[in-house]
Structure 1
Amino acid sequence: MDIPPFDLPAALSVVQVAPAAAGQPGVNLSEALVGVPGILARDRQNYAQDAQISIRGFGSRATFGVRSIRLYVDGIPATLPDGQGQVSHFNLDSADRVEVLRGPFSVLYGNAAGGVVQLWSAEGTPTPVTTLGMNAGSNDAFRYSVDTRGTLGPVDYNIAGSEFLSGGYRPHSRVRRESDNARFGMDLGDGKKLTIVANRLNQPISQDALGLTREQVDADPRQVASAATQYNTRKSILQNQLGAIYEQRLDSGDQWRAMGYFGQRSILQYQSIPVGVERSPLSPGGVVALDTDYGGLDTRWTHTGQLAGRDVEFVLGASIDGQRQHRRGYNNFIGNTLGVIGALRRNEDDNVDSVDEYAQWYWHFAEQWSLLLGARHDDVRFSARDLHITAINPDDSGGVSYAATTPVAGLEFRPGHDLRFYISYGKGFETPSFNELGYRSDGLPGLAFNLRPALSRHLELGAKWQITRALEFDAAAFGSDTRDELAVRTSESGRSTYQNVGDTRRQGVEFSLTGQLADSWQVSAGFTHLQARFRSAFLACRSTPCTMVTMPVAAGTRIPGVPENYGSLRIQHGSDLGWHESLDLTGVGSVTVNDTATQQAAGYGLIGMDASYTFALAASTRLQLSARVDNLGNRRYIGSVIVNDSNGRYFEPGPGRTWMLGARLVF
């Protein structure tokens, strides 16, 4: 809906993306999220597993990729219908802004929407502009990029490409990533517009150093798990995606929008599953090969007008999304040679279809009051067709369906032009992903179709204050109760199965201050206090490996991977020409790493600084030279955790002091 963020009864942060201004290389999404409350983005320093992102505690259990959060690029889903997503193809070189939505109104985005992150590419500029960038730094890191924007007649364009290489902070962490993104906007006249977005991710090598045990971290945080080198654990990824959005204004008050997209994603991952475990007739092997075709359609009608003399806006839409995945599993050995593709052990087609309908209604029903209502109905169908059938490993084909209707409502009070108070409430749901359905807890082959969806209720109270026209302070108190939360049931030799464990609660407060403090001074600050607890007692793994849950987890135990306090601050000074400096502060509290809360990672605070100088070489040509230092204090810390890791290797150490030099030429 076309409502300014300040007037929404929801916690929505909009961050303008400008990597060059902050001396950032533009490699990770977390660079753009400094100062945004509620969201915690941790770079694992392990590009085989992508970033670890959670919003108000949702998504913390993801051992790879992004779980429980909906992701979008230019309005096109980056989350598959089963709820699993990734941000590795988010291209910051072509980006204009990132939007982070938290709280009840996230549920309008459907399955697994504990929060929403959207990246929007910039439109082409009236005058063509090209940017060439190069960065080099610690751990053999190197990145080069190019972005060109402009307008050709009725078409505006923004095309970007980059390559990133790094040897990694720890041994066996080498990565090579190529990212390309192109956006074309076409004015078709008569109120019609067509936007085409194409992107490509090619990550042919990303070694996986795996996590470390507590003893290993204490001895040497830069070491690599022996299983990683023994089995040469690694992953390769190739993704191509194309999307189109057609918009047409029917009259002064009606607009129609249709979006379609299609993509292909291939993954080949070598895991460290022991040979002895793989020799079982029911083992799916230690090499995972996934070929996924996915796509969808979304169409919506928007009406704006008057009701009782007041502005009203109504949106009605429907979408369909599909995922066709061919999953194969192989042994990760041939004879005595490890880390290679061996005999076929698993072969199946895993499909997901989602059909959704949604509606939103906004009414500014009085001078100081507005109301926003919404509802969504989701039908999600999982099915699996077993293609690897033997006398010992029978046909495991099957399917399961999930459906839910999720309403949401928000009321806002405007006592003055610079102040807003609001309350919002909504219900959400989250199906298990194929990762959680993938293995049964009884050790038999086939999918875990006994798992139920997690149902949640969200409440938020918030206030927004525009201190000046360029400076805003936001505050929110929130609470989310979830029924049938998913947690680990068994964990052995790199395989985890899941169970529904009852009720959980996530509640807390968040604050942010963003904008311009004074001439040439900008601030972006966010702080979150969050209590995330299991409200129902259940049985969990006492230790790893674990084939049976025997350890009681008491009600009130912390949900693993969720810090009680975290925040970040960025202060910038400077202008387009001459010197530009910034200071970053990041603080994250301690987290437990397993359901039993028997181990934890300590909290930490980090300082980052950068400085750049921009030269005017000609009327439209500029050269920027920059230098950046992260973890200025050279602190030892755990950058991210692998929740409930089946081998007890929970900890992923963050790098010590690192530096990065950069140069950007704009013409």
Structure 2
Amino acid sequence: MFIQVKPYLSFITLSGLLVLGPVGHVRAQEMLETLIVSGDAPAPALAGRIMSNQASDFHPGARLDSAELLQNLPGIQVDSRSNYAQDTRISLRGFGARSAFGVRGIDLQVDGIPMSTPDGQGQLGSVILDNIQRVEVLRGPIAGLYGNGAGGVIALQTAAPEITQLSLGVAAGDPGLQRQTLAGEWREGAAAARLQLANTQVDGERPHAYAEREQGIAQLYYRTAGDLDIALKHERNRDPLLQDPLSLRPDEWRTNPRQTNPVAETFNTRKTVDYEQTSVSLRRSEGQTRWQTSVWQGERAITQYLGFRNGDTTVDGIRFLGSGGVVDLARDFAGASATLTQGFELLAMPADLSVGVELAQMEDSRRGFVNNNGTAGDLRRHELGKVDSLDGFALLQLTPINGLSLYSGARRGQMDTEVKDYFVVAGNPDDSGARDYRETAYAFGSNYQLNAQWEFFASRGRGYETPTLTEMAYKRIGSGLNTALEAAVNYQTEWGVNYRLDDRLEVVLTQFAIDSNNELVVDQSVGGRTSYRNAAATEREGSELFGRYAFGSHWRLLGSAQFTDAIFAAGTLDGKQLPGVAREQYQLGLQWLPFGSEVLQLAAQLQQRSRVFTADDNAVAAPGYRTFDLSAQGEYSLSAINLGWWLKIANLSDENYVGSVVVNQANGRAFEPALGRNVTAGINMQYAF
């Protein structure tokens, strides 16, 4: 299936090129949409809001999980399921904590191209992480200007090749890991290209947990004589088999965390994924007039066998016909964006005004079948869901006096959803429906640079998150699209201080308060049928501490601590903690370079987290835990050959802990065990031409 980009998408992109193309260039400065795209220095008013990890901060690993790149960044909670049939669970200040699969409430980007759909669904499992050079996280009210579901922004960035070379890498280890990578990079003047392939097999620590993944990416970069950057990318991900061992009840986990839910074998629970996306970006980042435009289009096909036959269930005495234990989903998506930033003077004050537009669409063709113990049976669901979104935004930045930066911005978004039910039979009424959302986000704030070391910041804003198509699929009682779901609205306040001492020391202390109305939470999850509701209100308050320190050229220390009090603030759940959110989390990483170079690096990583409740009633919690990792890596060059290696021992103490929870799981199977002690190693050889 292939969806054609609607005429207005092509029109806005072409218009952007025609109108913005002939602009001039002078000094570089970033705009809203390219703020976390290029890796250059962002606008002064926003610089302190971005937390980042460079490639030198990444601990070695097989690069199978985005958690490897997000360590030590404050505000982020990454729950690794150790189950490749379910995407890594990521939440930021509690946004996205409700997600049973994938990522919700966080805007995901790779090289400025959205990895989130217009209704707020996202995942990073299809991204080749080996060539990511930088990870940036934008928190707080300003993130709301990125639109629907942007409780925060996580942006991954690659870099254009600098030399022509061929790379070959292999990795192996626990639990039954085998991974091979092959990459070719080329550089000739203003042009560069990269072709990369990766193949991965993992046996898994639990029975019925085998995973196989095949990935490929082609990238082309070119800078014109007029300093126009052009980037073209095509990526493909194919997962032929991702077995799902399913989650466990607390008593099962305590007895034997390495066991598999028996239902997994009975129904042969598994998933296959086929993902493909093409994008092109044009950007001019230098001068008083700066602009960027991007177009993307792709397809994602999923077939998943769940741990039940039909999904028929009885809720409050009413029997519902399930949609079958086999999901067959074909998703087509496309989008375009354009942003223009103009520098000028306003009443003798230096100013920047950014305006932009983003359009996106997706179409889900979804079918469901009876799961006859691992084979697809009769049709139980057939529908077509569509989402169209159109957003416009503006951001004004002022510098009234030296050291003081002010900003104010707003974004208006509209999202239209529609589901057409083609499976209307006796006992299964027409579940068609439609719902339109119109929401506004805004943010304003200030930064004050007292001197070269001290910076103070504060901001306030409003954001929103509409329910996804998946979350609207079911009602708790009755049939039909859950059109009663309202968009969740949040009001965020953030303030803090940043201390920097040259390139050696950085400490950031941030406090935040978030009040949400109509928070989207899981209402019930039983028999594959998960319904959602709007909570009356929630409150989240917390503090985050981030620091990095370089002891000369031999030692580097990187750490974070976060405290999040996330509670329901009204109704019968008043005072209960939000499920899926840890109250406390600490991370500390230490790197030692004995020779002061990349020849040898030794590292240790400590993580500690408090308990996490599995449901709204707070009756059951996954215990807190502490893990300790050790690693070593090095590089050695001989003429045109560069040899790199790494070794990692994770969970050194063999801690038995829950890596993630399934929120509000009605059958009690909410614990997803993490890996025990595991050892992995890899080697990479590069030959420069």
TM-score under structure 1 normalisation? Answer: 0.93
SS in 2 for 1:381: strand
1:536 to 562, 565, 570: 570
SS in 1 for 2:205: coil
Structure-1 separation of matches of 2:194 and 2:445 = 36
Name the structure 1 match of 2:500: 466
Q: Is the 8 A contact 1:495 1:646 kept in 2?
A: no
1:476 equivalent in alignment to 2:510? yes
Name the structure 1 match of 2:368: 329
Q: Is the 8 A contact 1:10 1:104 kept in 2?
A: no
1:48 to 85, 94, 108: 85
Q: Is the 8 A contact 1:238 1:267 kept in 2?
A: yes
Name the structure 1 match of 2:664: 644
Q: Is the 8 A contact 2:71 2:587 kept in 1?
A: yes
Name the structure 1 match of 2:27: none
SS in 2 for 1:263: strand
Name the structure 2 match of 1:8: 46
Q: CA deviation at 1:391?
A: 3.7
Structure-2 separation of matches of 1:657 and 1:560 = 27
2:381 to 346, 352, 356: 346
CA, structure 1 residues 515+75, in 2 after alignment: closer, same or farther (shift >3 Å)? farther
1:284 equivalent in alignment to 2:323? yes
Q: In the TM superposition, what whole-angstrom CA distance separates every residue of 1:249-308 from its partner, at most 9, and x where no partner exists?
A: 7x9421232110000000001011245838978321111111010010101111123334
Q: CA deviation at 1:152?
A: 2.7
2:619 to 580, 583, 598: 598
SS in 2 for 1:8: helix
1:453 equivalent in alignment to 2:487? yes
Q: In the TM superposition, what whole-angstrom CA distance separates every residue of 1:319-345 from its partner, at most 9, and x where no partner exists?
A: 110001101011111xxxx11111111
Q: In the TM superposition, what whole-angstrom CA distance separates every residue of 1:472-510 from its partner, at most 9, and x where no partner exists?
A: 111100011100112233332231211112000111000
Structure-1 separation of matches of 2:414 and 2:439 = 7
Which residue identity is paired with 1:607?
F
1:563 to 567, 582, 585: 582
Q: Is the 8 A contact 2:173 2:681 kept in 1?
A: yes
Name the structure 2 match of 1:550: none
Q: CA deviation at 1:30?
A: 0.8
1:171 to 177, 189, 207: 207
CA, structure 1 residues 25+110, in 2 after alignment: closer, same or farther (shift >3 Å)? same
1:586 equivalent in alignment to 2:623? no
1:635 equivalent in alignment to 2:655? yes
Which residue identity is paired with 1:51?
T
Q: CA deviation at 1:646?
A: 2.9
Which residue identity is paired with 1:167?
D
Structure-1 separation of matches of 2:246 and 2:545 = 35
Q: Is the 8 A contact 2:161 2:193 kept in 1?
A: yes
Structure-2 separation of matches of 1:221 and 1:478 = 36
Counterparts of residues 73-88 of structure 1 (less than 5 Å): 73-88=110-125
Which residue identity is paired with 1:62?
S
Which residue identity is paired with 1:328?
R
CA, structure 1 residues 491+85, in 2 after alignment: closer, same or farther (shift >3 Å)? same
Counterparts of residues 153-192 of structure 1 (less than 5 Å): 153-192=189-228
1:95 equivalent in alignment to 2:114? no
Q: CA deviation at 1:178?
A: 1.7
Q: CA deviation at 1:559?
A: 0.3
1:129 equivalent in alignment to 2:129? no
Structure-2 separation of matches of 1:530 and 1:184 = 42
Structure-1 separation of matches of 2:293 and 2:47 = 26
Structure-1 separation of matches of 2:512 and 2:598 = 42
1:364 equivalent in alignment to 2:385? no
Name the structure 2 match of 1:541: none
Structure-2 separation of matches of 1:483 and 1:96 = 37
SS in 1 for 2:144: helix
Structure-1 separation of matches of 2:146 and 2:303 = 30
Unaligned runs of 5+ in 2: 1-30, 36-40
Q: Percent identity?
A: 31
Structure-2 separation of matches of 1:488 and 1:8 = 34
SS in 2 for 1:84: coil
Q: Is the 8 A contact 2:311 2:322 kept in 1?
A: no
TM-score under structure 2 normalisation? Answer: 0.90
Name the structure 2 match of 1:419: 454
Structure-1 separation of matches of 2:118 and 2:495 = 30
Q: Is the 8 A contact 1:122 1:158 kept in 2?
A: no
SS in 1 for 2:222: strand
Structure-1 separation of matches of 2:548 and 2:196 = 28
1:17 equivalent in alignment to 2:55? yes
1:144 equivalent in alignment to 2:163? no
Q: What value does the CA root-mean-square deviation take over the aligned residues?
A: 1.9
SS in 1 for 2:684: strand
Q: CA deviation at 1:591?
A: 0.8
1:316 to 345, 355, 359: 355
Which residue identity is paired with 1:483?
N
Structure-2 separation of matches of 1:666 and 1:205 = 31
Q: Is the 8 A contact 1:94 1:147 kept in 2?
A: no
CA, structure 1 residues 255+625, in 2 after alignment: closer, same or farther (shift >3 Å)? closer
How many correspondences in the alignment?
643
Q: In the TM superposition, what whole-angstrom CA distance separates every residue of 1:399-426 from its partner, at most 9, and x where no partner exists?
A: 0011111110011111102211010011
Counterparts of residues 106-121 of structure 1 (less than 5 Å): 106-121=143-158
Name the structure 2 match of 1:542: none
SS in 2 for 1:148: strand
Structure-2 separation of matches of 1:274 and 1:646 = 17
Counterparts of residues 436-451 of structure 1 (less than 5 Å): 436-444=471-479, 446-451=480-485
CA, structure 1 residues 629+79, in 2 after alignment: closer, same or farther (shift >3 Å)? same
Which residue identity is paired with 1:301?
L
Structure-2 separation of matches of 1:149 and 1:6 = 34
1:498 equivalent in alignment to 2:518? no
Q: Is the 8 A contact 2:589 2:604 kept in 1?
A: yes
1:514 equivalent in alignment to 2:548? yes
Name the structure 1 match of 2:469: 434
Unaligned runs of 5+ in 1: 539-552
Structure-1 separation of matches of 2:214 and 2:391 = 34
Structure-2 separation of matches of 1:276 and 1:104 = 40
Structure-1 separation of matches of 2:256 and 2:545 = 37
1:34 equivalent in alignment to 2:55? no
Q: Is the 8 A contact 2:281 2:292 kept in 1?
A: yes
Structure-1 separation of matches of 2:515 and 2:313 = 40
SS in 2 for 1:228: helix
SS in 2 for 1:218: helix
Q: In the TM superposition, what whole-angstrom CA distance separates every residue of 1:201-238 from its partner, at most 9, and x where no partner exists?
A: 11111111111001101110000111111101111111
Q: CA deviation at 1:632?
A: 0.5
Structure-1 separation of matches of 2:311 and 2:586 = 45
SS in 2 for 1:320: strand
Q: Is the 8 A contact 2:311 2:324 kept in 1?
A: no
Greater mean deviation of Cα atoms: 177-186 or 278-287? 278-287
Which residue identity is paired with 2:220?
F
Greater mean deviation of Cα atoms: 286-295 or 459-468? 459-468
CA, structure 1 residues 9+152, in 2 after alignment: closer, same or farther (shift >3 Å)? closer
Q: In the TM superposition, what whole-angstrom CA distance separates every residue of 1:148-182 from its partner, at most 9, and x where no partner exists?
A: 33313431123322122111111111101122223
Q: CA deviation at 1:665?
A: 1.1
